[in-house]
A and B are shown apart, each in its own frame.
Chain A
């Protein structure tokens, strides 16, 4: 029964965790969900701490917890707390923007942390009990836990379109209840030694289970669904639009990639970068939203003259440089303005690439252009086609700063180089974005284009670049050939009252004429950077600048990340000393969470050691280091692959699902294999693992580049199998350590707690490592973790 419980609870817990990220992605923004879920995962570690403390307080606790009845009670508690925590989280009036204003909001946040930690606590309790009470079967326990988690990771992706997020969360939490009737029918004879009491179906348990199932069923009915219905934050773009009159959601498509909703309204008018010289009405528009944000607008236009307004937008400047445009590639993330530009230019052939297949279908049905619904980088790797214009559209989220943690491989140096490789000799790349102060994104994008041009073998990159702006938007144009005659650009700017920011041979008197800043900040900074590049002193420029505008490569693909910690104070001052301007930055949230996590981890790990555990039951320092190293190493490797695979799949959720499933399956097989291995296997398994990780660091970029060009099915297969050797060996150190390094249940429970704390802290740390140094450094940290574990073994055989 114990192994079945471990398996089912693991399936349920991981599915619950994955679905919670979906829940938070809709309700809030990703970086805020990171905050709550990270802390809640300490519930796992707390279960180990609880058992360590129990060991000193209650004699014979092993007998009490090894009965079927106890396991059934814990399963019931898991399900109950999971359902209730989800309901409460969905209805609690927690508002992150009110946190510094209303003391009650801190209580709501605390309630969210505690409530969400409870199901993880009970789930962890079942697993840690299994490790503590059945030491001779740690390989099987590990297998059950990892295989269950692998199934839980894969479950949401396959069934979320059928059930939707809310019902699937409830369904996932009910899964372990299957154990109660099932185990009464099937007799488990193999673990009789661990199970003292064979009673299971007490009237109370039957009644309790029926009440939970009944309540859950009610939640899934029309009358009860309002309690679990997940609506986006009122601050999100969709919530704002839905407050307009006669506005309704016309269509909803749900997948693990996100919730895509098409809205019918007469009040959306999207035209960033529109000149004041345009005096007519805009065409009628509707819009789609992904997870309540990332608005993509669909214009009711078919003919060039209906899209006339697009000729008055900044983005259209690129089309003026390519008369008789034949082939246009539109790489769309959000926005939707690139399509009217192509239509207005009467482009002969328009190819659209969108990451999200649901959005791809919507765009295709609306415009009838060919639309590809997968990773644009992969599309480019597979095609030899060349385009006159490549228009990349990405405007970002509705909350500045929330993009900081988002990995985005379409705006890196490597991406620019790839775009240039797919341009015809006279072709151009167009990129339009929001114009911010202090100048940040515009400088970074200019630098990235510069690096991309350099990577493509172009000797004088500035000769290929132009930038224009109005009061809130800028457009960067990158040309495959040098911009020798800039008259058209200058005339376009003059006619439509746009300002030049950068052009080959630009002079100060040519800038800041129509949309006037106190100083031409953007021109000054980009000119300074251009001069720094010419003198090969660009590093000095990047070091001195107030914020991080260094160009991002595929190694460190975080174009929305700007914070420089040493200059935090100066940045705070430069933005008018307003707390919120910084607080909503994803990176600041990561630091806050890390500090909170550190406090919780110290509490969970030090309390049993210094307050409760008897000297004979305490684990040694080397044992603690071993489990810290193994826990941290495992999580770092997982996160390394998740972040690296985003380049292949273009979507972090798909990457997470593939990596989690692969690593957990192969680790579970490793755990099963190790069941019959001896103590000596620990050292060897760690050495082989470290060698494999080192080999991965050196080969991964080359392999990923090749996988990018594969067909979708081969991408999934090869990405999955690439994890096999590493995943298998990652499954050895933990069960071997549990079995051979530890002597009593208290130590094993404590080791579980150590492993849990290390996992949570490293998952937060990995985010900061990737942001600050780059993704490969996460693997470096994993190697250090496993090397520490190896060193902790000393010379003992």
Chain B
């Protein structure tokens, strides 16, 4: 009944919804994708040809709600409903690049979300395992990935905190959900020399990346800021003449 009520309100507020019908212009999207990769991915320093090829290939507009299709190839995060977002394309490219993936590797993704990141990974590597705890997202993303023909992506509805034991160990792990600590079980499922990455902060504002590399029982943790944070402290600004010295 709530849905009916919402529909009535929506129609009252926006009568054009009655006549909406999206005609997808695939060549338009392809061109937009090409421009996105050129202007916002390549120009910002992403160099890995496999990543660039995947970004050119994967149809981001298929992973966003219909009403946001026109914004699908802008370099920004987009809300996809239920408080979820699809990451900024540059962040997706950066996260993928720093994993340094090769063709025959096995990757675990925690937080399938829209499925877009899994699709990018699937274009680069052999096996992608993706876990989503939120059922609606899991169903939606699995459906889209299937409809787009990704056969090397395995999705599961469940708790990503404990990883995917049956498929472990992994060459790389990508956490796309917000976490305040790196789950110990995931570290255990990472191969020696393996890489784990996760984004920091709210997808709408700060989003730097963390890259963890496993060396036996030790780990190195590196912050990757890409172009998302340009360290311009007071001294740096002064030096560049952007503010007058006090």
Interface residues of A (CB under 8 A from B): 88, 91-93, 95, 97-98, 101-102, 104, 107-108, 111, 226-227, 233-236, 239-240, 243-245, 266-267, 269-274, 276, 278-281, 398-401, 436-438, 470-473, 497, 514-519, 521, 524-525, 528, 540-541, 543-546, 567, 570, 573-576, 578-581, 584
Contact = CB atoms under 8 A, between A and B. Distances in A.
Nearest to B162: A281
A236 B46 CA distance: 33
Interface hub of B181, B219, B246 (most chain A Cβ within 10 A): B181
Contacts of A570: 232, 237, 242-243
A233 B245 CA distance: 44
B225 A578 contact: no
Contacts of B201: 400, 436
B221 A93 contact: no
Contacts of B71: 101
B133 A280 contact: no
Given A521-B233, A544-B246, 13 more contacts: A88-B9, A102-B68, A234-B81, A267-B133, A267-B161, A270-B180, A543-B246, A544-B237, A546-B234, A576-B226, A578-B76, A578-B228, A584-B204
Contact of B188 (A243, A272, A279, A576): A279
A320 B137 CA distance: 44
A92 B223 contact: no
B139 interface: no
13 contacts: A91-B5, A98-B79, A107-B13, A226-B1, A244-B134, A245-B133, A274-B182, A400-B201, A528-B235, A567-B243, A574-B232, A578-B88, A580-B205
A581 B223 contact: no
Interface in B196-246: 200-202, 204-206, 208, 210, 212, 219-223, 225-235, 237-238, 242-243, 245-246
B135 interface: yes
B182 to A, nearest CB: 6
Interface in B66-120: 67-68, 71, 76-79, 81-85, 88
B11 to A, nearest CB: 12
A472 B200 contact: yes
Nearest to A581: B205
A382 to B, nearest CB: 34
B136 interface: yes
Interface in B1-28: 1-2, 5-6, 9-10, 13-14
Contacts of B187: 276, 279
Interface of B: 1-2, 5-6, 9-10, 13-14, 67-68, 71, 76-79, 81-85, 88, 133-137, 157, 159, 161, 180-185, 187-188, 200-202, 204-206, 208, 210, 212, 219-223, 225-235, 237-238, 242-243, 245-246
Contacts of B1: 226
B2 A515 contact: no
Contact of A544 (B223, B230, B235): B235
A580 B184 contact: no
A546 B225 contact: no
B229 A574 contact: yes
A518 B223 contact: yes
Contacts of B234: 541, 544-546
B78 to A, nearest CB: 7
A111 B13 contact: yes
B230 to A, nearest CB: 5
Given A400-B202, A575-B206, A281 B184 contact: yes
A438 B228 CA distance: 10
Q: Pick the 7 closest A-B CB pairs, nearest first.
A: A234-B83, A544-B234, A274-B181, A576-B228, A272-B180, A581-B205, A243-B134
A400 B184 contact: no
A104 B234 CA distance: 41
A243 B136 CA distance: 8
Contacts of A278: 184
Contacts of B181: 269, 271-274
Given A95-B79, A270-B180, A519 B134 contact: no
Interface hub of A88, A471, A581 (most chain B Cβ within 10 A): A471
B82 to A, nearest CB: 5
A273 B71 CA distance: 37
Contact of A518 (B79, B135, B225): B225
A244 to B, nearest CB: 6
A119 B27 CA distance: 50
B13 A92 contact: yes
Nearest to A400: B205
A271 B227 CA distance: 29
A525 B71 CA distance: 38
Nearest to B85: A97
A65 B183 CA distance: 69
Contacts of B157: 245
A583 to B, nearest CB: 8
B180 A271 contact: yes
A398 B182 contact: no
B202 A398 contact: yes
Contacts of A581: 204-206
Contact of A578 (B188, B205, B220, B231): B205
